[in-house]
Amino acid sequence: MGVMPTRQALEIADERGYDLVEVAPAANPPVCRLMDFGKFKYEATRKEREARKVRKTKVTNELREVRMKTRIGLHDREAKTRLVLRLLGQGSKVKVSVMFRGREVEHPEVGMALLKAVADQLVDKANLESPPRFESRRSLSMIVSPAIEMPAPAEKETQSEPENVEPEKVLDRAEA
């Protein structure tokens, strides 16, 4: 709209039902824009929330480990499985390990059954990245990663305002 006095810009904004927002205060003369500032802030927080949600579902390269013993009780196994689910929800890969003590190493089928039970509980929420295998003589482990759900395509907005505008200051009618 060109260079104009602040009072005139405020009057135009008031006539159209918008706010006068200063977007580049360092420029000479300062650059302002007519916009609904409340709507702008609402959409910015909504985009932030969506970005957080997307970031939460992305797989990170962080590998976390949950260890179990072969003689673990049912309730304790379920608690460890919930821990694995929480770590997967944070986007981490999880290594589920079964540790053998003493003569337990003679019965690896017990450890395999334990890992299979954990994998069965995680079947729809995680991908089995590496099947159960012996790491050492006394440790059996598998690696699971979060199951990535494809987000639904976002609706296109019909506004002509650019997304990267960061208003520095809203000029209030009292200031002018």
Q: What is the pLDDT of residues 85-130, one digit of tens each?
A: 999 888 889 999 999 999 999 999 999 999 999 999 998 889 998 9
Contact of 1 with 145, CB cutoff 8 Å: no
Same domain, 22 and 91: no
| pLDDT at residue 4 tops 80 | yes
Query: Looking at residue 60, what is its pLDDT?
Result: 61
Residue 147's pLDDT band (boundaries 50, 70, 90)?
A: confident
> pTM for the complete prediction?
0.52
Q: Which of 49, 66, 64, 70 is nearest to 154 (CA)?
A: 49
164 part of a folded domain: no
Q: How far is 125 from 148, CA to CA, in rounded Å? A: 9
Same domain, 69 and 142: yes
Average pLDDT over residues 26-49: 91
Q: Which of 69, 146, 144 is nearest to 107 (CA)?
A: 69
Same domain, 103 and 142: yes
The residue written with tokens 């209030």 in the block is 172
Query: Looking at residue 83, what is its pLDDT?
Result: 94
| pLDDT at residue 176 tops 50 | no
Strands 31-35 and 63-69: unpaired
44 part of a folded domain: yes
12 part of a folded domain: yes
Same domain, 128 and 107: yes
Average pLDDT over residues 141-159: 66
Same domain, 75 and 137: yes
Q: Which domain holds residue 9?
A: 1-57
Query: Looking at residue 59, what is its pLDDT?
Result: 58
* CATH number of the structural domain spanning residue 131: 3.30.110.10
Same domain, 133 and 122: yes
| pLDDT at residue 174 tops 80 | no
